Amino acid sequence: MNHVYLSPHFPPNYHYFCVHLRRLGVNVLGLADEPYDWLRPDLKEALTEYYRVEDMHSYDQLLRACGYFTHRYGKIDRIDSHTEYWMETEARLRTDFNVEGPKLHDLSLIKRKSAMKTAFQQAGVAAPRGVLAESIDDVWRLAAEVGYPLVAKPDVGVGAANTFKLHGPEDVQRFWAGKPAVPYLVEEFIHGPIFTFDGLTDKAGNPVFYTSMTYSQGIMETVNEDRHIYYYNLREIPGDLEEAGRRLLKAFGVRERFFHFEFFRSERTGQIVALELNLRPPGGPTLDLFNYAHDIDLYWEWANIVVNNRFVESFSRKYHCCFVSRKHNKNYVHSHDQILAAFGYCIVHHQAMPAVFALAMGDYYYLVRSPDLDEVMAAARFIQELA
């Protein structure tokens, strides 16, 4: 099997995908703009060959690289990066080289939030009322129907970039006057906590691993208001959340892929309301969080699904594992050393966050693990307590 992996060095933890593919006998063909000498030693060892391009945004350079791989090793069997940033690039390359996986014609449904909303409703899962606004009058009509606040977000976008919360008519006018020149989806604001349905499917679309998380707050508030964030996995998944997640897995035909679905639980109705779908692992160190929470290795299990269509580890939700971040621009009551002295026994990992994730996820993070949620929350409060 010939597997082209885009940007195998980033994010840093994703190099384990390549390591495990190689362990299973795959020709792992790295493609990135990072100098080869800067790669981690175990990543170098995992790569059958590495092709460096000057610019990963130059599609011609990527075409030539994949053409070279095809000439040297034969047909390419898979192309992946596991990141949303390169999703369209992956799809273009899969289309041009007839490689299994999502292709260009599949992208509208999994990139455009307005298309997702329609698919949610067709699958029988509630979604926020909204409109793909072509004029400010569309926003006024929606406000008259659902009230304020509203949320305005690019129809195609990553995370909470250029997302706005509109509290009233003045915010609407200010947003419309200065909005980027891209299509915007405007929706009612759902008051309630965010929950996820995350996992990995086999080649037939069966979820061989699944779990759920909840967040201290939304990414939009974290980015726009420079707040902290923490999130943790649930040891028990509510039945209606799992049912909604499984409906969407079928509706979107998710096969041999990680998935990350986001939902609100409405404070007003108690209903699960679909927010967004992503056909990738959740960002940053969240796969590590899952591994610690379930005592498994999802990097290995993904590789085993790709090569053998087998998920071999049994898993149970043994622990809550919580991601807790800090920011350099805030003053904290407790130092790093004090945190380790107080909660080091349940902190399983801590490190600096790559700068590209810092705006949403903080500059430094801790993974806290315990079967007791109260203990995990006590650690989170201690870590983030401001002076």
Phi and psi, residue 341, nearest 5°:
-70, -40
pLDDT bracket for residue 93 (50, 70, 90): very high
What is residue 360's predicted lDDT score, i.e. its pLDDT? Answer: 81
Q: Which residues pair with 214 in a beta bridge?
A: 195, 232
CA 313 to chain CA centroid, Å, is 23
The residue extents of the domains of the chain are 2-108, 129-188, 194-384
For 200-216, letters b (16+ CB in 10 Å) and e give: bbbeeeebbbbbbbbbb
Nearest to 100 by CA among 84, 133, 76: 76
Q: How many residues does the chain have?
A: 387
- Tell me the mean pLDDT in the region 379-385: 96
Decide: 90 and 80 in contact? Cβ < 8 Å: yes
The mean pLDDT value of the chain amounts to 94
Nearest to 114 by CA among 178, 149, 157, 84: 157
Residue with the larger pLDDT of the pair 310 and 220: 310
**Has residue 129 got a pLDDT over 80?**
yes
3-state secondary structure 283-299: CCCHHHHHHHHHCCCHH
Q: Domain 129-188: give its CATH architecture.
A: 2-Layer Sandwich (3.30)
Which single residue is written with the structure tokens 């010939």? Answer: 2
Q: How confident is the model at residue 258 (pLDDT cuts 50, 70, 90)?
A: very high
CB-CB neighbours of 288 under 10 Å:
18
More confident: 346 or 357: 346
Alpha-helix runs per DSSP H in 165-297: 169-178, 219-224, 239-252, 286-294
Q: What is the DSSP string of 40-87?
A: -HHHHHH-SEEEE-S-TT-HHHHHHHHHHHHHHH-S--EEE---STTH
* Count of CA atoms in the C-beta half-sphere (13 A) of 314: 0
pLDDT greater than 80 at residue 62: yes
Tell how strand 27-32 and strand 2-6 pair up.
Answer: parallel
In this prediction, residue 96 carries a pLDDT of: 97
- Rounded Cα–Cα distance for residues 80 and 3 (Å): 8
User: What tens digit of pLDDT does each residue of 211-248 get?
Assistant: 999 998 766 666 666 778 899 999 999 999 999 999 99
pLDDT for the residue numbered 158: 62
Angle at 257 between CA 254 and CA 259, to 5 degrees: 75
Pick the CATH number of 2-108 from 3.10.150.10, 3.40.50.150, 3.40.50.20, 3.30.70.420: 3.40.50.20
Cis peptide before 11 (omega within 30 of 0): yes
For the full predicted model, state whether its pTM sits above 0.85: yes
Given this model, what pLDDT does residue 221 score? 63
Confidence class for position 271, pLDDT limits 50, 70, 90:
very high
Distance CA 102, CA 91 (A): 6
- Give the pLDDT score at 261: 96
At residue 255, φ and ψ (nearest 5 deg) are -130, 135
Distance separating the N- and C-terminal Cα atoms of the chain: 55
pLDDT band with cut points at 50, 70 and 90 for residue 379 = very high
pLDDT range class, residue 107, cuts 50, 70, 90: confident
Question: pLDDT digit string (tens) for 36-52?
Answer: 999 999 999 999 999 99
Could you give the CA distance from residue 88 to residue 57 in angstroms, rounded to a whole number? Answer: 11
pLDDT at 270: 95
CATH class as words, domain 194-384: alpha beta
CB distance 230 to 380 below 8 Å? yes
Query: Could you give the dihedral angle defined by the CA atoms of residues 251, 255, 258 and 264, in that order, rounded to the nearest 10 degrees?
Result: 10
121-130, 256-265, 354-363: lowest mean pLDDT where? 354-363
> What is d(CA 156, CA 24) in angstroms, rounded to the nearest whole number?
36
Cβ 341 vs Cβ 62: under 8 Å: no
Contact 33, 8 (CB under 8 A): no
338 C-beta neighbours (distance < 10 Å), count: 13
